[in-house]
Amino acid sequence: MKKEVLIIMPAYNEAEGIRRVIAWIREQIPYADILVVNDGSADDTGRLAALEGAIVLNLSVNLGIGGAVQTGYRYAALNGYKYAAQMDGDGQHNPLDFARLLEAIKATNADMVVGSRFVEKQGFQSTLARRMGIVILAKLLTGLLRRPVTDPTSGYRLCGPRAIALFAKDYPTDYPEVEALVLLDNHRLQFREVPVVMNERLAGTSSISSFKSIYYMVKVILAVLITKSKKRKLRVGYEA
């Protein structure tokens, strides 16, 4: 019998910790299927994930986080999952918090629930430089969307059917978490944040180095503004 919840785990060169992360998720969320999207890894990420019992999609080239995550949403849509969650393959997202996300999406009209580390400010809060960047992006989205946003870069997310359908067709590339919130708003879908406790990485290194942080910020801000402008075009006669 197919389960109604799918955990989407984009993974790139996560062989060192992938089996521990999958085992931890299965222990805490036994009612979910686990899909590892192996994003062209040069190591044994895909093989080890399969050995641990996950469903594995091996991409022949590295698409980046946006392409890997959208691959997961397409799989969820094609296979009729009611809920699809994003969780990282490095162990930062604590599966103990998943029940809180699931409860929130079932109890509200939200199309997506985002796990925020800054609502209760517990657990790993990221580095100082990144926290400063997150604050800037949070203020930008709070103003653009006219609602409070505390953790726009969080990749710990749970989507319902309408968000799954949207992201299967259209999902941002590169570092898409922030832009995806604007995309939801453009399509009049709702999201909310719930408190979670994040961990430090079990293994590996982040793809965003200190040197790339400024470039990342500029690129994300421009992408957000461009995506937001598309909503205005929809309102003046381009909406299908």
Summarize pLDDT for 87-126 with one digit per residue, the tens. 998 888 999 999 999 999 999 989 999 999 886 666 555 6
Amino acid at 192: R
Confidence (pLDDT) at 239: 43
Q: Where are the domains of the chain?
A: 5-238
Statement: the pTM of the whole predicted model exceeds 0.75: yes
Helix (H, G, I), strand (E, B) or coil at 104: helix
Indicate if the pLDDT at residue 148 is higher than 70. yes
Sheet holding 191-195, edge to edge: 55-59, 32-39, 5-11, 83-86, 157-159, 112-116, 191-195
CATH for the stretch 5-238: 3.90.550.10
**Looking at residue 122, what is its pLDDT?**
61
